[in-house]
């Protein structure tokens, strides 16, 4: 798949988008008319027509000399990577599932094995066109009139607006990736090794370009170290019978093409394809190869959400229904072992994924947030004063008392110059009678105890005060009043926790 749409097709897509906005009845909630999603929380049905984003699904242009790309908001990373690899380039962070869109990864966050050196996907954005709740398309950059939206857009999940076009930085990539899988007998040992690699960018004198890990048990965990290389040679293929995450346990070294490395997790949705029998050799042999991909498994999950198929099958076996525990959380690297060991003792889910990250050094800073106290310009007028409640200066809307005022991304505040580790786990546990979301609530409390955060793509159970404290509520309120003054878009708490 190599889709380049060009400026003219993009302009047509923008016209269709604006026409669909105008067709939504006044006062009705504005949402996307989108059949697919990578969210894992139930949502209320939208009775109104949605935004037509069907013309915003490709790469507009690539500038190989500047190493940038202009990309429509609904372009998937599968489409984007297919285009950029022709120039020997790739996005600085490529989330691991093919159908994640660039706009989705920016407004809803994303992560991958380059995040220890390149941060998160939104840190590679240099400018973004946003359709706001007011129906205006504005261009937000790190400095200037709409810098507050540029920094506040990540983790807003479409509640401040929808990305229409993004300009992103790219990096050069080699044709192959050489892998080393290093086993550890304790999580503490893995944590120490990961911290050293993130700090040095190397291991045993060899450069590390990609870094993530898998925990199978407290006594068996691995770090996978990737190094880009031009050296020709045999490569492995994990798009058929062989399964990537099992290879980590079976071999110490490996080689993949750059494309197969970027999508190594997609074929089996990490390891979640086993829930559908796709890892059974007898079943896999007959499973259509084109359906060995995360987007198809997601459709199966969507059917289960709608019809409660899994719970009905459990009931026939005399088993309780399941509580979905599908989450990604982040804790400071020094708390990784404490969190993982607690998780393994209290939540019967394995394997789990580890991915270190740091905010990019020298990246955008909060210098763009120059709004004076109580002054937020209207995007239509470009000036004026809006009296607001809550914190009077967006720069002071820190998530916790005493936190650094200059954290870069206020709705998902990570401290600069600090390493975090993303821990991903995606399965289910038996429900606890009388306590919906029991295990997820335990996880939320433990993550907060260890000075961490969790992503909001799945179910959340925070009360509003804690949610606001964790996710920049004061700053969000100011942005909401400026860019969605009539409340045409959902509120972030309503969308993430109440599942509206």
Instruction: Indicate if the pLDDT at residue 120 is higher than 90.
Output: yes
Read off the tokens for 134: 């007011």
Looking at per-residue pLDDT, the higher value among 232 and 398 belongs to 232
Contact between 340 and 423 (Cβ < 8 Å): yes
Q: How far apart are CA 143 and CA 150, in angstroms?
A: 9
Q: Given pLDDT bands bounded at 50, 70 and 90, which one contains residue 392? A: very low
Looking at per-residue pLDDT, the higher value among 186 and 35 belongs to 186
Q: What is the pLDDT of residue 452?
A: 96
Alpha helices per DSSP H over 1-160: 6-23, 77-84, 102-108, 115-118, 147-152
DSSP state of 160: S
Helix (H) or strand (E) segment spanning residue 256:
strand 253-257
Residues 29-81 pLDDT 10s = 998 876 555 554 455 566 667 899 999 999 999 999 999 999 999 999 999 99
Q: What is the pLDDT of residue 37?
A: 54
Residue-averaged pLDDT of the chain: 88
Q: 205-210: long-range contacts (C-beta < 8 A, 24 or more apart)?
A: 209/114, 209/117, 209/177, 210/113, 210/114, 210/177, 210/261
The rounded radius of gyration (Å) of the Cα atoms in the chain is: 22
Instruction: Indicate if the pLDDT at residue 394 is higher than 50.
Output: no
Q: What is the pLDDT of residue 408?
A: 81
Q: Given pLDDT bands bounded at 50, 70 and 90, which one contains residue 152? A: very high
Read off the tokens for 116: 């220890």
Q: How far apart are CA 271 and CA 99, in angstroms?
A: 17
Instruction: Indicate if the pLDDT at residue 403 is higher than 80.
Output: no
Contact between 102 and 73 (Cβ < 8 Å): yes
Residues 272-305 pLDDT 10s = 999 999 999 999 999 999 999 999 998 898 787 7
Place of tokens 């099992």: 246
Instruction: Indicate if the pLDDT at residue 109 is higher than 70.
Output: yes
Q: What is the pLDDT of residue 395?
A: 27
Listed residue (124, 130, 139, 134) closest to 56, CA to CA: 130
Q: What is the pLDDT of residue 209?
A: 98
Q: Given pLDDT bands bounded at 50, 70 and 90, which one contains residue 144? A: very high
Q: What is the pLDDT of residue 466?
A: 95
Contact between 379 and 134 (Cβ < 8 Å): yes
Mean pLDDT over 176-185 rounds to 98
Q: What is the pLDDT of residue 303?
A: 82
Looking at per-residue pLDDT, the higher value among 27 and 402 belongs to 27
- CB burial of residue 277 (10 Å; 0-12, 13-18, 19+): exposed
Q: Please name the residues in contact with 286: beta carbons below 8 A apart, sequence gap of 6 or more.
A: none
Q: What is the pLDDT of residue 309?
A: 77
Q: What is the pLDDT of residue 50?
A: 85
- Classify domain 1-173+308-500 at the CATH class level: alpha beta
Q: What is the pLDDT of residue 373?
A: 28
- CA 205 to chain CA mean position, Å: 32
- CB burial of residue 414 (10 Å; 0-12, 13-18, 19+): buried
Contact between 77 and 100 (Cβ < 8 Å): yes
Q: What is the pLDDT of residue 43?
A: 57
Q: Given pLDDT bands bounded at 50, 70 and 90, which one contains residue 388? A: very low
Instruction: Indicate if the pLDDT at residue 362 is higher than 70.
Output: no
Q: What is the pLDDT of residue 27?
A: 85
- CB burial of residue 379 (10 Å; 0-12, 13-18, 19+): buried
Residues linked to residue 72 through DSSP beta bridges, in sequence order: 165
Torsion angle in degrees (nearest 10) through CA of 315, 319, 323, 329: -140
Looking at per-residue pLDDT, the higher value among 378 and 317 belongs to 317
DSSP 366-400: GGG--PPTT----TTTS------SS-SSGGG--SS
Q: How far apart are CA 367 and CA 354, in angstroms?
A: 32
Q: What is the pLDDT of residue 308?
A: 81
Taken in order 391, 392, 397, 401, is the CA torsion positive or negative?
Answer: negative
> pTM here?
0.89
Burial 464-495 (b: 16+ CB within 10 A, else e): eeebbbbbbbbbbbbbbbbbbeeebbbbbbeb
Instruction: Indicate if the pLDDT at residue 448 is higher than 60.
Output: yes
Instruction: Indicate if the pLDDT at residue 464 is higher than 50.
Output: yes
Instruction: Indicate if the pLDDT at residue 366 is higher than 70.
Output: no
3-12, 330-339, 355-364: least confident range: 355-364
Q: 64-71: long-range contacts (C-beta < 8 A, 24 or more apart)?
A: 64/89, 67/169, 67/170, 67/171, 67/172, 68/126, 68/167, 68/168, 68/169, 68/170, 69/167, 69/168, 69/170, 70/165, 70/166, 70/167, 71/102, 71/165, 71/166, 71/167, 71/168
Q: How far apart are CA 246 and CA 323, in angstroms?
A: 26
Contact between 190 and 223 (Cβ < 8 Å): yes
Q: How far is CA 271 from CA 110, 192, 257, 283, 292, in A?
A: 19, 26, 21, 15, 12
Read off the tokens for 317: 């076996």
Instruction: Indicate if the pLDDT at residue 389 is higher than 90.
Output: no
Residues 197-237 pLDDT 10s = 999 999 999 999 999 999 999 999 999 999 999 999 999 99
Place of tokens 């939540």: 347
Instruction: Indicate if the pLDDT at residue 1 is higher than 70.
Output: no
Mean pLDDT over 339-365 rounds to 89
Listed by start position, the domains of the chain span 1-173+308-500
Cβ atoms within 10 Å of 458's Cβ, excluding its own: 17
- CB burial of residue 418 (10 Å; 0-12, 13-18, 19+): middle
């Amino acid at each position: 798949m190599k889709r380049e749409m060009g400026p003219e097709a993009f302009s047509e897509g923008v016209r269709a988008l604006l026409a669909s906005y105008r067709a939504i009845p006044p006062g009705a909630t504005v949402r996307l008319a989108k059949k697919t999603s990578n969210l894992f929380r139930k949502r209320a049905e939208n009775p109104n027509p949605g935004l037509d984003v069907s013309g915003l699904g490709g790469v507009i242009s690539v500038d190989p000399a500047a190493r940038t790309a202009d990309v429509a908001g609904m372009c998937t990373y599968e489409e984007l990577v297919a285009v950029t690899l022709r120039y020997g380039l790739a996005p600085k962070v490529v989330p691991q599932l093919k159908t994640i869109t660039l706009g989705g990864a920016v407004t809803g966050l994303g992560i991958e094995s380059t995040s220890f050196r390149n941060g998160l996907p939104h840190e590679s954005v240099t400018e973004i066109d946003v359709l706001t709740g007011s129906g205006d398309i504005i261009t937000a950059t790190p400095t200037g009139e709409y810098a507050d939206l540029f920094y506040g857009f990540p983790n807003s999940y479409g509640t401040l607006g929808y990305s229409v076009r993004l300009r992103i930085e790219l990096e050069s990539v080699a044709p192959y990736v050489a892998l080393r899988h290093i086993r550890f007998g304790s999580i503490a040992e893995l944590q120490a090794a990961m911290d050293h690699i993130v700090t040095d960018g190397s291991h045993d004198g060899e450069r590390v370009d990609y870094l993530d890990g898998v925990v199978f048990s407290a006594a068996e965990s691995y770090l996978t170290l990737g190094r880009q290389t031009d050296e020709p040679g045999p490569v492995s293929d994990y798009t058929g019978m062989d399964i990537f995450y099992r290879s980590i346990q079976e071999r110490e070294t490996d080689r993949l093409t750059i494309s197969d490395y970027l999508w190594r997790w997609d074929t089996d949705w990490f390891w979640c394809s086993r829930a559908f029998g796709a890892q059974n050799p007898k079943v896999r042999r007959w499973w259509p190869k084109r359906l060995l991909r995360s987007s198809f498994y997601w459709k199966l999950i969507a059917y289960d959400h709608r019809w409660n198929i899994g719970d009905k099958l459990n009931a026939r076996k005399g088993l309780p229904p399941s509580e979905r525990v599908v989450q990604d959380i982040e804790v400071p690297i020094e708390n990784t072992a404490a969190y993982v060991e607690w998780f393994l003792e209290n939540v019967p889910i394995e394997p789990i994924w580890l991915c270190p990250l740091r905010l990019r050094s020298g990246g955008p800073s909060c210098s763009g947030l120059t709004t004076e106290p109580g002054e937020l310009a209207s995007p239509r007028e470009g000036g004026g004063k809006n009296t607001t409640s809550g914190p009077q200066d967006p720069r002071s809307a820190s998530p916790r008392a005493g936190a650094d005022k200059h954290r870069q991304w206020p709705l998902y505040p990570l401290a600069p110059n600090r390493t975090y580790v993303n821990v991903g786990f995606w399965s289910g546990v038996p429900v606890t009678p009388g306590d919906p979301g029991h295990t997820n609530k335990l996880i939320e409390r433990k993550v907060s105890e260890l000075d961490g955060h969790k992503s909001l793509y799945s179910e959340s159970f925070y009360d509003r005060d804690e949610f606001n404290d964790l996710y920049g509520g004061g700053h969000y309120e100011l942005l909401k009043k400026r860019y969605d003054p009539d409340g045409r878009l959902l509120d972030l708490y309503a969308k993430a926790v109440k599942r509206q």
